[in-house]
Amino acid sequence: MNKIRALFSFILILLLITLPNAKALWEQKTVYLGNDLPLSIPTDLPNGLGDTKFFVMKKTTPTTARPEKFGLSGAHGEWDFILADLYNNFYGTQKTGDEYLEKHFAMLAALGVSWIRMDVSWERVENPQGQFNFATFDKVFDMAKKYNLTILGTVMFTPSWLYSQCPGKLAGAPWYTSPRDLNATGSALYNNFVAEMVNRYKPGGTRYPNSDYGISYWQIWNEEDIAFWTDCQTGEQGNLTTYAYLLKSAYQKIKSVDPNAKVVMGGLTHLDPSNKLTTLYSFLPNKDFDILDIHYYETDQGAALTDKINAFANVRDGKGDSVKEIWVTETSNGDVNYQSTYLQNVFNQLEALEGRNVKKAFWWGSRGYFFDAGNPNPGERTYAIMDTNFYPKEVYFAFGEWLGTTQKKGEVSASVTGGTVNAIIPANLLDEAGDYVVFYASVSKMVTALPLTVKVLPNTVPNCSNLSGPSQITLGLSGTYTATFSSSQGNLQGEIVASQNGSSSLVWFPGSRVISGTEGTLSYVWTPTKIGTYDLFCRAWNDAIAECRGNPNYVDGPPRYPCIGPNSSMTVEVVPTSTTTTSTTTTSPTTVPQTTTVTDNSPRWLSVMRDPLAVIFGLPVRLVSEWVDDWGIQKVIVEENSTGVWVNHTVYE
């Protein structure tokens, strides 16, 4: 009971003074509604470059479940690493694979994408045989986790140590060959690789042991009905008999490692998919897959899609398998002048087929990885929503608008001078309060700068600015910090606070002050008690209408906003003294025990209040005493017995 009462008191106070937060992924700018937004961003683009633009999108709230139903295929994070040297040579830059990867996934997240499909290369991970190098996919999947992207992983690409042993004449690319040990019972080598990947990357697996995030959808190969599946022994292409051997055994292996995983069959091409599905079912009496897949690349602008999907679903239903979903993990069109219309035609038809259990569709692709004959003229990359250098095509914006997550507002020409890219985003492109995404791109050069988030604030939101004070304090000494506060609404209050690492608990919480009129200046003296790096920022609010916080990492959403500023936050380093002396005072039985120090851990008592449960239930009097130190909000609960003697005091953090 004592612990319960103590916990109750702790939670009661914590709810009153903790500070919610939501750490921003990208740099955030703020502007009041009706104002232009000047931008000047450091860049490595050459001065005078004339083909650079800023693009502006408004973030919108989807009114349908489309973000969960439609995704992007060909989001091969691995290729961002493999092809980094190619891009550096072509564009004359020096970027790392990590920079290409983050830019890639950031551009998808900016669009509101939730699902991506990518290759998971056997060749990349297990080479030589028995030696597993997860470094690349650790980075790829971790980046997907950072941007909240759900992955469908297509496991393929036979490693060189295995396809080099194939006796058959391989007409196509050798990494599309079946494993040499494949027989009617499957491939032990492929299954071993799949098991390693699933065990490592499943939710709760070795890579994500304490996370709900992980890879739960695995696809066994790709377009096995054409040259992407070549028999190692004979060189025959598109042999569905041998593919069925692989699918059946891999399905069983994946389920043994992660019973909750979903196994997607390789996508059958649009070339007679219904008959090929019939053939595949004949080799799989136990129906060893969870999800069916078909690809659609017809040049008829989607006219035949509905009939083709219905025929495909009829085969499935005829096998008593109607509960299984159909996904279309690749569809696209290479005509850049027609892509946006094609996307809407195809996706509208697929959405209308939900009654046939058609659940997901993926546009191919996210980024155009390859050049055509070594030059920037259109090639396969014309299918993607972004060019090789992340320059967006119109279908990029059409995809976000289809999802209902973004709306393109416009684009603005930029200048590059003195190592910065510069533009003024006019107020007419920021014509509603809310969140925007702004990024720049060049037609001829590579840009890996991450997007900006821009928050357009109603004019009712107050502001604080010009925060100043020492950037370094020696432990035991004090610093004075001053900021300016303003609000057109009046009823203004403000304060300066400190915290660490985006924590919701304030390290320094001196209390707010009322400011007369619509603008004023406040000063506070801070005496830190522990060394470390701290975020100092000002807060302003106007009679519960709205609040601004100077550091966007501590903003969780309306009615809290980032302050316009400028200079509404700063970083302060608290450094140690050469010597520190600590002493403890002795407390009398009739006073609250306190510990005092000369230069460290000095409690600043904010309140002492009686525990209401003690009063209600007639329990021994318990006082909840509270102070703030530099590790957060600390609680001391001090118990007094019936004779008035202090018998216990416990610190609760």
pLDDT tens digits for range 413-469: 999 999 999 999 999 999 999 999 999 999 999 999 999 999 999 888 899 999 999
- Rounded Cα gap, residues 449 and 43, in angstroms: 8
CA dist., res. 208 & res. 265, Å (int): 26
Residue 28 in domain: no
Residue at 171 is within a domain = yes
Q: Which residues contact 116 (CB under 8 A, 6 or more apart)?
A: 71, 72, 73, 75, 108, 144, 149, 150, 151, 152, 362, 366
More confident residue, 621 or 485: 485
Pairwise CA distance, residues 28 & 454, whole Å: 6
Q: CA–CA distance from 502 to each of 24, 28, 145, 399, 631 (Å)?
A: 10, 15, 19, 33, 13
In a domain, 178, yes or no: yes
Measured CA distances, 590 to 412, 625, 643 (Å): 71, 15, 10
pLDDT per residue as tens digits for the range 305-362: 999 999 999 999 999 999 999 999 999 998 888 999 999 999 999 999 999 999 999 9
Residue 203 belongs to some domain of the structure: yes
Give CA torsion, residues 334, 338, 341, 345, to 10 deg.
-50
Cα 556 from Cα 538, distance rounded (Å) = 16
* Reported confidence tier of residue 217, pLDDT bands at 50, 70, 90: very high
pLDDT over 50 (residue 1): no
Q: Residue 565 contacts by C-beta under 8 Å, 6 or more apart in sequence?
A: 30, 463, 464, 465, 550
Backbone angles phi, psi at 55, to 5 degrees: -115, 140
Q: What three-state secondary structure class fits 107?
A: helix
Looking at residue 544, its pLDDT comes to 64
Residue-averaged pLDDT of the chain: 85
Q: β-strand 622-629 against 560-562: which pairing, if any?
A: unpaired
pLDDT in tens, 556-580: 878 888 999 999 999 999 999 875 4
> What percent of the chain has a predicted confidence (pLDDT) above 90?
69
Write b or e for each residue in 537-548: b if 16 or more Cβ atoms lie within 10 A of its Cβ, otherwise e: bbbbbbeeebbb
Q: Residue 568 falls within a domain, yes or no?
A: no
Determine, yes or no, domain membership for 466: no
Residue 19 has pLDDT above 50, yes or no: no
20-39 residue pLDDT tens: 444 457 888 999 999 999 99
- The single-letter DSSP state of residue 418 is T
CATH number for 155:
3.20.20.80
Peptide bond before residue 365 is cis, with ω within 30 degrees of 0: yes
Residue 235 within a domain: yes
Query: Tokens 């703020």 — which residue?
Result: 30
Q: What is the per-residue pLDDT across 77-93, written as a single tens digit (0 to 9) for each?
A: 999 999 999 999 999 99
In this structure, are residues 216 and 260 in contact, taking their beta carbons and an 8 Å threshold? Answer: yes
pLDDT of residue 645: 38
In which band, very low, low, confident or very high, does the pLDDT at 550 lie, cut at 50, 70 and 90? very high
DSSP label at 392?
B
Q: Which residue has the tokens 């601004």?
A: 548
Strands (E), 332-458: 358-364, 406-413, 415-417, 420-425, 434-442, 452-457
The single-letter DSSP state of residue 364 is E
Q: What is the largest CA-CA distance in the chain?
A: 96
CB atoms within 10 A of CB 252: 14
**pLDDT tens-digit map of 573-609:** 999 987 544 433 333 333 333 332 223 333 333 333 3
**What Rg value do the Cα atoms of the chain yield, rounded?**
31
Query: Residue 349: what are its φ and ψ, rounded to 5°?
Result: -65, -45
Which residue has better confidence, 484 or 615? 484
How many residues in total does the chain contain? 653
Report yes or no: 334 and 383 within 8 Å, Cβ to Cβ.
yes
**Does residue 377 surpass a pLDDT of 60?**
no
Split at pLDDT 50, 70, 90, the class of 171 is low
What is the mean pLDDT of the segment spanning 633-652? 38
The predicted-structure confidence for 379-398, as pLDDT tens digits, reads as follows 456 899 999 999 999 999 99
CB 408 within 8 A of CB 386: no
- Number of domain units in the chain: 1
pLDDT in tens, 105-156: 999 999 999 999 999 999 999 999 999 999 999 999 999 999 999 999 999 9
Domain-embedded: residue 555: no
Distance CA 476, CA 185 (A): 73
The burial class, CB within 10 Å (0-12 / 13-18 / 19+), for 638 is buried
> pLDDT value at position 508?
83
* Percentage helix, strand, coil for the chain under 3-state DSSP, each rounded to 5: 25, 30, 45
- Tell me the residue range of the domain where 236 lies: 114-264
Q: Is the pLDDT of residue 221 over 80?
A: yes
Percent of the chain with pLDDT over 70: 82
- Residue 380's pLDDT is 58
Long-range contacts of 77-81 (CB under 8 A, 24+ apart): 77/101, 77/104, 77/105, 77/118, 77/139, 77/140, 77/143, 77/144, 78/118, 78/119, 78/120, 78/121, 78/124, 78/136, 78/137, 78/140, 79/119, 79/369, 80/104, 80/140, 80/367, 81/136, 81/139
Position 598 scores a pLDDT of: 27
Residue 542 confidence (pLDDT):
87
What is residue 170's predicted lDDT score, i.e. its pLDDT?
A: 66
Q: Which residues are CB-neighbours of 97 under 8 A, at least 6 positions away? A: 80, 81, 82, 84, 139
pLDDT of residue 644: 40
Return the pLDDT at 616: 40
Q: What is the mean pLDDT of residues 273-277?
A: 97
How sure is the predictor about 169, in pLDDT bands with cuts at 50, 70 and 90?
low
With a cut of 70, say whether residue 15 has pLDDT above it. Answer: no
Task: Tell the residue number behind the tokens 């050069």, with chain if given.
Answer: 445
Peptide bond just before 128 cis, omega within 30 deg: yes
DSSP lists the bridge partners of residue 635 as: 626, 652
Please confirm whether the linkage preceding 528 is cis (ω < 30° from 0): no
pLDDT value, residue 621: 42
Q: Is pLDDT at 373 greater than 90 in this prediction?
A: no
pLDDT the model gives residue 464? 95
CB 106 within 8 A of CB 147: yes
pLDDT-wise least confident of 231-240, 488-497, 607-616: 607-616
- Residue 395's Cβ-side half-sphere holds a number of Cα atoms within 13 Å equal to 30
The predicted pLDDT at position 156 comes to: 96
Statement: the pTM of the whole predicted model exceeds 0.85: no
For residue 498, pLDDT beyond 60: yes
Say what the pLDDT of residue 577 is.
86
Mean of pLDDT values over 173-200: 95
Asked if the model's pLDDT at residue 73 lies above 80, the reply is: yes
